[in-house]
Amino acid sequence: MAIRYGFFFDASACTGCKACQMACKDRHDLAAGLLWRRVYEVAGGGWRQEDGIWVPSVVAYNVSLACNHCQNPACALSCPVKAISRRDDGIVLVDAGACIGCRYCEWACPYGALRFDPRTGAVSKCTFCHDDIDAGGRPACVAACPQRALDFGDLAGLEEKHGRVREIVPLPAPGLTDPALVIRPHRDAGRAAAAGAAVANWEEV
Percent helix / strand / coil, the chain, rounded to 5:
25, 25, 50
> pLDDT band at residue 45, thresholds of 50, 70 and 90?
very high
State the pLDDT at residue 121: 96
pTM given for the model: 0.94
3 state DSSP class of 28:
helix
Segment 89-107 mean pLDDT = 98
Domain 5-196 part of CATH 1.10.540.10? no
Give residue-wise pLDDT tens across range 138-178. 999 999 999 999 999 999 999 999 999 999 999 999 999 99
Measured distance CA(59)–CA(40) in Å, rounded: 14
Q: What is the Cα–Cα distance from 45 to 88, expressed in whole angstroms? A: 43
The band of 48, judged by pLDDT with boundaries at 50, 70 and 90, is confident
Our CA angle for 14, 150, 156, nearest 5°, is 130
Write down the mean pLDDT value for the chain.
Answer: 97
Q: Residue 96's pLDDT is what?
A: 96
Predicted pLDDT at 133: 97
pLDDT tens column, 78-96:
999 999 999 999 999 999 9
The reported pLDDT for the residue numbered 1 is: 64
